[in-house]
Structures are given as C-alpha cells and as structure tokens.
C-alpha cells in the first residue's frame, strides 16, 4: 500500500545509513513535511531528539529541508518525545518532529511527528507526506527560506507542565525514589520533576554518550533500577525508555510493574477521585488479569491493535481518557495528548501519597496470568499465515487452552520479528506452547 511505504506504526524507523534512515532521505522528508504541514509562509515546526549520536546528522538534515520549504524551525535539542507534543501545542507550531527510535539500540533511529494539537499524524497526512517525497524538491526563494532558532527554556517549560499534572498541594516529601533515564532524552528532565515535588531522588542512566541509550538500563532492562531500589531501600523505582514515552516501575520489594499494572493503578486512582472510567483501552497483548481486575472495579476493557497510535484511535473514537500497553506506554488523555512516562509515574505516585499505600499494596488488586512471549527473527517476505504447519501449531495450542487462555501471533510493527505470545493459567503449559509455535515458524523459514 503506497500510503505506508515509509511510515510504520510509529513514524519512520530503521537502521542508520540504510534506506530510508539516511541523511539525503531525511533532508527530502523535512522538505515534504514543510510543504504538507505548513499552511503558510514562515510557519513554525519544532524539532526535538533523543541522545543518539545520529541525532546531530538528522537534526541538520531536517532543518535544511524545512528551511528549503520556507518553514521556520524551533530547535529543542534532546527532549522526551511527549515534551515535543506538549511544546508543539503551547508554542503554537504547525507540527512537531521527534528524532528517535524510542527503545531501539543506538544504531537505529527514526522520525516521529505530532500535529499542531499534539497528536500523532493521521494516516491521510502520512500518505500526503509520502506523495510529496516523490515530487521534485524545489527550494524557496532566498528571501523566503526558513530561519532556525533554539528554544533555550524548553526543559524548564516541560518540567513545569509535568508538575502541573499533580493535584495542587500534593507533595512527594518523605519518598525515596530511584529514577533510571536509560541514558536517553529524559536524563536532564525527569530527576528534576520528582525532586522539585519534594522526593529524594537517586539518578541512574543519566550519562548519555550517544552510544549507550537503552543499553542494559531503562524500561527495557529494569534490573538496574531493581538493584538500586533494594540497595538504597527506596520506596519505588522508575524506569523510562530512551525517548521517555514508556514507563516501568519497581516497588520497594524490587518487584517490577509493567504497563498493565500501572494502567490498573491509574484506573483505581481515577475511580477514587470520582472521575468515571467506564472503559479502559489496552491492546491484544494486555494480560487477561488486567481485564478481570478492571471488571471487578465495574469497568469495561477494550483491546486495540499493538501500538500506541491504535490505543489512541480507540480512545478518541470512544470518548475515553485512559489506555495503554503492557510495554509501558500509558496514555492519560485527561492530562496530555500522548503516552508520557513521567506524567504516568506522577499519577501513580500521587495515588500512593493520597492513600498512604505502598506501590506493592496498590498493585495487589490485579493478579496476572502467566504469559510467555518469544520473538522469532522474521525473514523478508515470510508470511506465517501461508504456512500449514505454523497454522496447525497455532490451532493445536488454541484447542488445548480453550477458554482458560489465548495465543497471539503477530509481526512487530518496528522490528523484523514475529512475536509469539501464549497466556494461560499453567505457566509450564504456556511456555511449552509458545516454544512449539516458535519452533514451527523457525522450521518453516529454514525449509
């Protein structure tokens, strides 16, 4: 489909130096975005990035392309993805661009976009950008070229916004918190938010060098924050990913809370505050335990496709405000317009303060089913649905699980992987079934 030639579920992403993540393509992309999103001469577009070394190159390329299209540029430097959504709105820009590959290693990068309202771009706008990329690049007259300036107070503006999502008068004094910023875009922002609200903060993952983003730390590797919480006898730990839109938490016992448990706690907080949450949105990967726990609270649960854009679409279509993914993307539409790891953590901690309960106690209302996922490397062009053996293995697993569990097989939207997930009451059975299906996929690709 032409409309999805470059864009995936979360912008454009890939290996640096391999098409389309090259300097020449990003230059043309900047020009195309300027032509499509900038409605008038000298419209404004924001550019932010995470801490990958390739961010310097792509920032310059985007800036050149936008300037050639006659668009003015506001440079934010390293900033979390959700901060770009916020600043795009408050600085009245026509669009916001984020240079980031989120949770991927440093050698990957990507480009994500926000509209003037702080939401991710709709499919039709992405399609228009792709059509414009195919057009010859025409540079504006010299007098009409876009100008660039740096927003020097970007971090301060976003810190104040994050703090504003906590109810007035609520402070975190007496709390001992460990924060792991994954050597990513939140390294100079997140610790300040929590310390300015009164918490004692231990900072780890705050020394980016361009190559260490997400490496053995952050939301993808919570072992680092687990160890720090136990060593310092902290009340909780916060692990963010490289661009700050994912959140994983750790309680005082060192137990990890994923996006499902965080979403459950925020739903409880909203209910106690008298804010009706008739429906919460998760994904097809969300644990059955979350669905059952929300049902016990009198809430409905809907499943979207994997990807925060699909969670967002379902929230907007239903007029709901709370949704998220097991991976830690949590969207609080009553606070902001996109998944925000810092804002989500603030909602959980405020609930801790209000109830006087520990994080361990707050998560006790959800009992998760054993879930086992295997990522199988996917060869280009392979479609598991065309394989009789793979489909037979899936059908066999479904028959054994019956009504006590489920199996989900899906290609990743961001990596060349096929994700095989099995969930059920018996952990050993679940693991064996996942291995059986994964082995069938690998065997078929090797045949």
Residues acting as catalytic residues: 102
In angstroms, the CA 418 to CA 393 distance is 15
Tokens found for residue 169? 């008068």
CB atoms within 10 A of CB 356: 7
Burial of 139 (0-12, 13-18, 19+ CB in 10 A): middle
The three-point CA angle 256-262-266 to 5° equals 150
Q: Give the Cα separation of 385 and 387 in Å (integer).
A: 5
What is the distance between the alpha carbons of residues 173 and 371, in angstroms, rounded to a whole number?
Answer: 37
Q: What is the DSSP letter of 11?
A: B
Q: Do 288 and 423 contact (CB within 8 A), yes or no?
A: yes
Report which DSSP code applies to 273.
T
Do 323 and 335 meet the contact criterion of CB atoms below 8 Å apart?
no
> Which residue in this structure is represented by tokens 């070229």?
145
* CB 90, CB 164: distance < 8 Å: no
Q: In 3-state terms, what secondary structure has residue 334?
A: coil
Backbone φ, ψ for residue 281 (5° rounding): -105, 130
CA 195 to chain centre: 24
Per DSSP, the residues of 25-94 read: HHHHHHHHHHHHH--STT-EEEEEE-S-THHHHHHHHHHHHHHHTT-EEEEEEE--HHHHHHHHHHTT-S
């Amino acid at each position: 489909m032409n409309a999805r030639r470059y864009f995936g579920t979360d912008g454009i992403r890939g290996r640096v130096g391999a098409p389309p993540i090259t300097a020449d393509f990003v230059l043309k992309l900047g020009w195309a975005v300027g032509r499509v999103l900038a409605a008038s001469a000298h419209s404004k577009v924001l550019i932010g990035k995470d801490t990958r070394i390739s961010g310097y190159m792509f920032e310059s390329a985007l800036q050149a392309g936008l300037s050639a299209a006659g668009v003015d540029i506001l440079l934010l430097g390293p900033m979390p993805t959700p901060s770009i959504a916020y600043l795009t709105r408050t600085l009245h820009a026509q669009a916001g661009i984020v240079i980031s590959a989120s949770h991927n290693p440093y050698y990957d990068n990507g480009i994500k976009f926000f509209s003037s309202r702080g939401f991710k771009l709709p499919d039709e706008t992405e399609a228009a950008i792709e059509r414009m990329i195919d057009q010859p690049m025409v540079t504006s007259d010299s007098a009409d070229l876009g100008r660039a300036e740096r927003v020097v107070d970007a971090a301060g503006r976003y810190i104040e916004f994050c703090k504003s999502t906590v109810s007035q008068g609520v402070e975190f004094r007496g709390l001992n918190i460990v924060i792991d910023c994954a050597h990513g875009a939140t390294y100079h922002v997140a610790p300040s938010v929590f310390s300015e609200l009164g918490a004692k903060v231990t900072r780890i993952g705050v020394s980016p060098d361009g190559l260490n983003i997400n490496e053995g730390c952050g939301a993808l590797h919570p072992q680092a924050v687990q160890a720090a919480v136990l060593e310092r006898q902290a009340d909780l730990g916060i692990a963010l990913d490289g661009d700050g839109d994912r959140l994983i938490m750790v309680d005082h016992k060192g137990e990890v809370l994923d996006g499902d448990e965080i979403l459950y706690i925020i739903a409880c907080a909203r209910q106690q505050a008298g804010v009706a949450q008739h429906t919460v949105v998760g994904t097809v990967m969300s644990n059955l335990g979350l669905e059952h726990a929300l049902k016990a609270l009198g809430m409905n649960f809907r499943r979207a496709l994997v990807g925060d854009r699909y969670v967002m679409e379902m929230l907007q279509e239903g007029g709901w405000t709370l949704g998220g993914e097991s991976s830690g993307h949590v969207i609080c539409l009553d606070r902001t317009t996109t998944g925000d790891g810092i804002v989500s953590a603030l909602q959980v901690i405020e609930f801790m303060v209000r109830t006087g309960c520990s994080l361990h106690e707050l998560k006790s209302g959800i009992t998760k089913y054993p879930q086992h996922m295997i990522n199988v490397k996917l060869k280009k062009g392979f479609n598991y649905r065309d394989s009789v053996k793979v489909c037979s293995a899936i059908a066999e697993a479904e028959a054994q699980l019956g009504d006590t569990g489920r199996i989900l097989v899906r290609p990743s939207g961001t990596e060349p992987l096929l994700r095989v997930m099995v969930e059920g009451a018996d952990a050993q059975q679940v693991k064996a079934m996942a291995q059986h299906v994964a082995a069938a996929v690998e065997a078929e690709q090797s045949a």
